[in-house]
Structure 1
């Protein structure tokens, strides 16, 4: 029994240390939410863009696929932001005319209807232009003068388009098509009244990956699980070793007590026996 006690005590002391080690390993591979409330298409594009840059990323949902979140290794947050900014992700969200003119029971004034229509048209054109390959940011500003029908001179409509694109994209060749698209989307707009400003994005200098972030997250999880199982096994073995030693100790104690009582009874019999 006594040769098992040091082993049991050592096992019980080592188990908490192994649990702490497992916790440290698990925390070293923790992921944090970088973006939330994303569509599945957006989160898939972001995961692919990050994996291409060597960033450990994954997607997660908490509402059965209605919205998604992007999870990134906490040691690669900066690199993830740089990679997404270079790709213009996540995509900007735009309003559409259907949502703007949804019937809500309130009667709008003609001025409100006009402003809402201009804004909705600008949003839809911006959304359309942002889907061109290589375009990072697209914005369209529309001006529709409120001309007096009795006036002799009429102010023409105009539109200004701003595009920010990746340097490896040839957006300049698409400027005539962009102007034509905007012209046919706005009533009373001519080709010459559409201006397009295209700006190339600055190149992104990616930060160096941390040296400690080379181990994949799944491998860290496996190591943490192995350490936890080892700690649990040591605790079980330690408890079995101590419990296994108790019956022997109890039996030895019982034999000693019985021997003591028997010896006392024999001594009394000797004193009562008559002398020869």
Structure 2
């Protein structure tokens, strides 16, 4: 009986293990990024879970959904790239920087701020901004005007022609030394690239007389082994229970008959 109990426990553990096989998709996410990831996966009927840890939020999915989840999020540009603000770059650390280092940090921070702003436009998946500030190449030479290059990867919901002028005006107003005339010249370039939409590619495989999604094949292969094992264990337990009931019934009957036979024997004087 102990052997059957251990076997039944092992069967339950295997069944639960096969059903709860999950993989960490992302770690260290912020609450907002994790919510966006979970919501996007839910739109594609992919079950994702969040787990809070010291380093941030961990998003997990079923192992069989790992491939689809990665392709869905890549097409959506999620999770969004974390960016550094001006305050974080120029926070006081007690270290004196050279003018060249300060200039490089300022250009980087300015690009990060512009990218963060452009990413808030509906339909923008990825935004990159490269900034060149006004600079005098050599003494006596004229100052080179500011320039900027903007790259935007967008979804089908965004019409580039409707936002191009506003983006040029916003970027030109944010960069020192760049005027509206410069934004309309060769000193400013903006490139729009449409993103490749996620397309469901289901691969069907044969499983006996049935056709199944290849992503679900490992689960059904596991069930092919677990179900017969479970049925055998249940039959053995039922047989032992029936055998125990039958044995008790026989013993009770024999005991009852024995009492009757003893009661019929006349007592000796």
Q: TM-score, normalised by structure 1?
A: 0.69
Counterparts of 2:146 and 2:47 in 1: how far apart (Å)?
49
**Could you say if the C-alpha distance between residues 213 and 90 of structure 1 is closer, same or farther in structure 2, counting changes exceeding 3 Å?**
farther
1:12-91 matched pairs, under 5 angstroms: 12-29=2-19, 30-63=21-54, 67-91=56-80
The answer to whether structure 1 residue 114 and structure 2 residue 108 are counterparts is no
**Could you say if the C-alpha distance between residues 33 and 148 of structure 1 is closer, same or farther in structure 2, counting changes exceeding 3 Å?**
closer
Counterparts of 2:61 and 2:50 in 1: how far apart (Å)?
9
Alignment coverage as a number of residue pairs = 213
**Could you say if the C-alpha distance between residues 43 and 214 of structure 1 is closer, same or farther in structure 2, counting changes exceeding 3 Å?**
farther
Match of residue 206 from structure 1: 200
Bigger RCO of structures 1 and 2 (CA < 8 A, at least 6 apart): 1
The answer to whether structure 1 residue 128 and structure 2 residue 117 are counterparts is yes
Counterparts of 1:173 and 1:214 in 2: how far apart (Å)?
48
CA contact under 8 A between 1:51 and 1:57: conserved in structure 2?
yes
Q: TM-score, normalised by structure 2?
A: 0.71
Higher Rg: 1
RMSD: 2.9
Structure 2 unmatched ranges of 5 or more: 203-212, 221-229, 252-269
The answer to whether structure 1 residue 175 and structure 2 residue 131 are counterparts is no
1:220-235 matched pairs, under 5 angstroms: none
Match of residue 153 from structure 1: 142
1:155 is displaced (CA, Å) by 1.4
1:52 is displaced (CA, Å) by 1.1
Structure 1 unmatched ranges of 5 or more: 1-10, 216-226, 249-276
Counterparts of 1:148 and 1:95 in 2: how far apart (Å)?
29
Counterparts of 2:147 and 2:41 in 1: how far apart (Å)?
40
Greater than 3 Å deviation, 4+ residue runs = 148-152, 211-215
Report Cα offsets for 1:109-146 as digits up to 9, x if no partner.
Answer: 11111111111101111111112111111100001142
Match of residue 261 from structure 2: none
1:79 is displaced (CA, Å) by 0.6
